[in-house]
Amino acid sequence: MSLRFAKRGGRRGSFALAVATMAAMAASANAQDFYAGKTVTIVVANTAGSGYDAYGRALARHMAKYIPGKPTVIVQNMPGAGSIKATDYTANVAPKDGTLFTLAMPGALVEPLTGDPTKYRYDPTKLAYVGTMDSGTRMCMTVNTSKIKSLEDARKTKTILAATAAGSSAFDYAYFINALTGTQFNVVTGYPGPGDMFLAAERGEADGLCGIDISTYTTLRPGWLTGDKKGHPLIQLGLEVNPKATALGFPPIWDFIKPEDKALVELIVSQQVFQRPFLAPPGTPDAQLKVLRTAFMAALKDPELLAEAAKSNLELNPKSGEEVEALVKKIYSAPKELIQRMGKVIRP
């Protein structure tokens, strides 16, 4: 009896496997048919000409060849409120069929963790993640004409920093560094994007910038890092010490904080693992999401994209959509008391 039952069970198992395989093939074929003749929009939640814009347009130029059906891929800029505007649009207005996904600032995904819950109409843990083009290091520095030349100077003297809005890394990072190291950063908001923030410092409206990705410096202001316009390195921020930033003179955050603050800093800077995150609306069909994730990772291995990135000084340290999704959920599962403290230090 048991042997006969096992044989019948095996046939049923084989049949179930065959059905599942056929279903998967059908889903893949449907996804391929779906994208044929379509237009896929990449929303860049920052201004044209910004570092984020450079990443979004580089992906758009190379991703279509890896999407079955070869759709047209275009870029639409939607700056505002530190990427919250574009993230809200993606979650609540955008088509949920796999024809749109968004490059947002990580702050838009972490901000709801500590901000006023009535301000957000989206849940970052329920968004669909395509992947991230970079994961790495942020830095704070002042322009070469500033009297503030080190973090020690910033502890003794009021230092004006330019930022877009509360919730952006340029805002949050400045204030958490104040809280944990005793600096006197004073953040001026209202600048549309990084390019405007750099200009503000160069015009004398601010001493510098904080919480800015190393790739943004290398893309928009390489002269701040080397050459005759070299600025003053204050600090680097990341889960790991960045050798490139260290060689440029940026001391790591870990040199300035108390041991009991380590877990808090790790929670704050963990968002840098998804430094250039691409997200799709919640409810995007699994088949289309799989196509986008596969095409995304394939494009980031494309020789032409890699050559273009090297020429434009774009840092590429990609991670999959599955990895980004897992990290976002991990951040939101952090201990309540740690999250509460995070809210206090980034928004005093």
**Tens digits of residue pLDDT in 158-205:** 999 999 988 889 999 999 999 999 999 999 999 998 999 999 999 999
State pLDDT tens for residues 214-224.
989 998 999 99
Q: pLDDT value at position 10?
A: 52
Domains of the chain: 36-135+275-346 (3.40.190.150), 138-270 (3.40.190.10)
The C-alpha atoms of residue 32 and residue 27 are separated, in whole angstroms, by 9
The percent of the chain in helix, strand and coil, each rounded to the nearest 5, is 55, 15, 30
CA angle 89, 35, 95 (to 5 degrees): 20
Positive or negative, the CA dihedral 259, 261, 266, 272 is negative
Q: pLDDT value at position 20?
A: 43
Residue reference for tokens 């095409």: 295
- The answer, yes or no, to whether residue 30 has pLDDT greater than 80, is no
DSSP string for residues in 107-161 = HHHHHHHHS-GGG----GGGSEEEEES----EEEEE-TT-S--SHHHHHHS-EEE
**At 348, is the pLDDT very low, low, confident or very high (cuts 50, 70, 90)?**
confident
Enumerate residues 6+ apart whose C-beta is below 8 A from 24: none
- The answer, yes or no, to whether residue 17 has pLDDT greater than 70, is no
DSSP string for residues in 287-298 = HHHHHHHHHHHH
- The answer, yes or no, to whether residue 15 has pLDDT greater than 60, is no
Across the chain, mean pLDDT equals 91
